Amino acid sequence: MKLLEKRAAALRAALERHNHLYYVKDAPEISDAEYDRMFRELVDLEEGTPSLRSPDSPTQRVGAAPLPEFAEVRHRSPMLSIGNAFEEEEVRAFDRRVREALDVPEVQYAAEPKFDGLAVSLTYRNGVLVQGATRGDGATGEDITPNLRTVRSIPLQVALPKETLEVRGEVLMYRKEFEAFNARQRAAGEKEFVNPRNAAAGAVRQLDSRITATRPLRFFAYALAHFSGAHPATHSETLRLLADLGFPVCPDADVVDGAAGLLKYYERIGRKRESLPYAIDGVVYKVNRLDWQEKLGFVSRAPRFALAHKYPAEEQSTEVLGIDVQVGRTGILTPVARLKPVFVGGVTVTNATLHNEDELRRKDVWAGDFVVVRRAGDVIPEVVRVQQPGPRRPENRFEMPKACPVCASPVVRVPGEAATRCTGGLYCKAQRKQTLLHYASRRAMDIEGLGEKLVDQLVERDLVKSLADLYGLKIETLAELERMDVTSSTNVVGSIDRSRQATLNRLIFGLGIPGVGEEVAKILARHFQSLDTMLAADWATLGAEKEAIRKDNAKRKKRGESLVEVPLEGIGPEIMESIEKFLDETHNRDVIQRLRKAVAIQAPAAAARSSTGAKTFVLTGTLAGMGRDEARAALEAKGHKVTGSVSKKTDFVVAGEEAGGKLAEARKLGVKVLSENEFLDLLKSL
C-alpha cells in the first residue's frame, strides 16, 4: 500500500509539473503520448485502490457527474468592478486624485492588460483547491469548483500546506483555440459562440463539468484577495508570489511611474493588442503599494486606487432595415435601429440605439441608410453616423409616435429634456414589466424565480397591474401558466412571502425611482427612517437647507471650526427633483401605500434614535465571523454609517486579520479601534 501511495503521489506531482510547463510556461518537456501514458497509469491506480483518490489529483480535471444546480458563495470581500476611462485627460485626472488623496508628489502604478474573460475566485486551504466561484453580483457568486478543477492552468495544489489563500483572476480562451473549438462545434452541427468571452463564460457555468473539461479554457491570476501568510507590500510583488506558487500571470504586466508612465504603457500595449494570443479591451492601472490602496479605499462599488483605460470602440458598417421604438421602465421612448446583422466588438449586432429623437435628427438616420455602428466592451451598440444614405423615400423617415406603441397612451416631450415619455405609467405594460423585474432583482427585494418569462405572462394576462399585486398571487394561479407547475409556483410564492420582510433602503431602491440607485436609497433610508416621513418631505425646503449648510460649512472651514453634517449628502438637485416628481404622482403614492400594508419594513435608524446617535465606522482586514458586506449591512440596518477611509470624524475602526494602512491611520488619529469580538459585542448593544 505504501508503494502504491508513493507511486500515485509521484505521478500526481509529475503530471501537475508537466501541466504547468505546457499550459503556463508554454515549454513542454515530454510528448503528448508520454503524458497520456502517465495519466492512464494514475487513473488505473485510483480505480484499483479508491482510497488513493484525492481532490487535488489531475484525474479530477476530466469532470464529474452533473450538478442539480450551483450553490451560492458569499465572497470574503466583494469582487468589485473598476471605473472606466476613455480619454487621456481622464487618466491624468485619476492620477491627480490619487496624489492629492495620498498627499505625495508621484505614485507608482502596476499596469496590466484588461482581459476580456470571466472573473473567478479560487480558495486554497492546506495547499489544496477547495472552492472556485464566479464573480456573480460582486457580493455573491456561484460555486463552480468542479468546473474550475478541469482548467489545466489552474493549480490543484500549491506549496503552502499551512496557509489559506484566495486568488482572483480571469478564465478565458485564446483566440486560436476559440476558432478551433468553434470549427469543431460547426462540424458537429452544434451551437457556435460569437466570441471567446461568451464561450468561456458558458463553459465555466456548465452543470456538467465533463463538458467544461472539453473546452480549451485558460486562467490568469491578477490578485490575492486573502492570504494568511506574510502579505506582499505591493501589487507587483503579489504577482511574483502568485507566479512562484504556480499560477499563470500576465507576462505583459509592468510597473510605471505617474500619469506619463500610464499613458506610455497604454500606447505600448495598444500597438501589440492584435498580436496578443487573447482578447483585451483595455488596460488596468492599480496603485502599486497595497497600504496606499487600502488608504484610498472605495467609492460606491469601485476602488479609488484602480482604473480601467479602454481602447477605442470597434466600428463596422451595415444597413438600417428599419427604426422601431422601445419603451423603458421610466416610460422613455427610445428609437432603435434594426440592423442587417454585423459582427462588431466581439458580438453579432442586430439592434443599435439612436438615443432620442434629437440625436436621431442630428445624425439624420433613415431606414435604408448604411451606417457606422460602434460597440465598446459591454456598452449597448450605437449608431455613430450615416456612411451612405439610402433611397430616403418619405416612408423611410422616422417619426416619433404620438401614442405609446405598447399601451396607446399619449406620449409627451418633457420640457427642457430630449426625452419623450409615455404617460401610461404602470398602466403601460412595457413599464410594468421592467418595474417588476427591477423590484424582484437581487439588490432590491430579491424575489427568486420572478424572471422575465414569468413576468411577461403576469403582465400580458393582467394578473399583476402594480408592484403591490405581487403579494396577492396564489400558487394555483401561477401553476396554470406556461413552464410553471405546483413546485415552481410554490417556490415563487414562498420567495414573494420572504420579501414581506425588507429593509427600507431595499424597498426604496425597488420602487425604481429614476436616478435612485442603491447608494442613494441607503442615504434616503438613513435620513427619513420611514416611508411616511419620505412621502411627507418638502423637497424645496430640503434643497435650500442643504445649500445654506454648505455655505456655512465653507465659512466654518476657513475659521477652523467643526463642520455641520449636510442632510442627504451625496444626493444632488436633479435626483431630488426626480424623487419629488415620482412621489407627486397619485398612482405611485397609491402603490406605495399598498406596499406598506404588504411589507413589514425594518427601519434602519435604531442607532440614530438612541442617546449616543449614529456612528461612523471603518472596516479593515478580514473578519472571520462575517464578511465586510455583512458587517456593513448590519451597521447600516441600525442607522450607522460605514465609510472607506479613516478621518477625525470616524468613531470606530473595526480591525480584522491583516488590517493594514487604515489601522495605522486610526492609531495615528486616536480613533477607537475594535477587535472583531469587541465589534460583535457592540453591534448587539446598538
Provide CB contacts within 8 A for 669, sequence distance 6+. Answer: 646, 647, 648, 650
Extended strands (E) in 554-651? 600-602, 616-620, 641-643
How far is 327 from 411, CA to CA, in rounded Å?
11
- Asked if 238 contacts 224 with a C-beta cutoff of 8 angstroms, the reply is yes
- Which residues lie below 8 Å from residue 528, measured CB to CB, with a gap of 6+? 504, 534, 537
* Cα three-residue angle 57-59-61, rounded to 5 degrees: 95
- Distance separating alpha carbons of residues 195 and 412, to the nearest angstrom: 41
Give the up-direction half-sphere exposure of residue 318: CA atoms within 13 A in the CB hemisphere. 23
Catalytic residue among 2, 6, 25, 114: 114
Planar angle of CA 176, 178, 181, nearest 5 degrees: 110
Contacts of 450 (CB under 8 A, 6+ apart): 436, 437, 440, 470, 492, 495, 496
Q: At what angle do helices 573-584 and 586-598 cross, to 10 degrees?
A: 80
The identity of residue 45, as a single letter, is: L
Please name the residues in contact with 587: beta carbons below 8 A apart, sequence gap of 6 or more: 425, 426, 466
Residue 281 · residue 116 · CB < 8 Å: yes
Return d(Cα 464, Cα 627) in angstroms, integer. 37
C-alpha cell, 5: 501511495
Q: Which three cell numbers stand for residue 448?
A: 427568486
Residues found in the chain:
686
d(CA 222, CA 247): 9
* DSSP assignment of 139-179: SEEEB-HHHHTT-TTS-SB-S-TT-EEEEEEEEE--HHHHH
> Whose CA is closest to 285, among 267, 269, 299, 305?
305
114 DSSP β-pair partners: 282
Cα–Cα nearest to 518, from 620, 636, 427, 403: 636
Residue 276 phi, psi dihedral angles, 5° rounding: -70, 145
Say whether 655 sits in a helix, a strand or coil.
strand
For residue 445, count other CB atoms closer than 10 A to its CB: 25
**Is 465 one of the annotated active-site residues of the chain?**
no
Residues catalogued as catalytic: 114
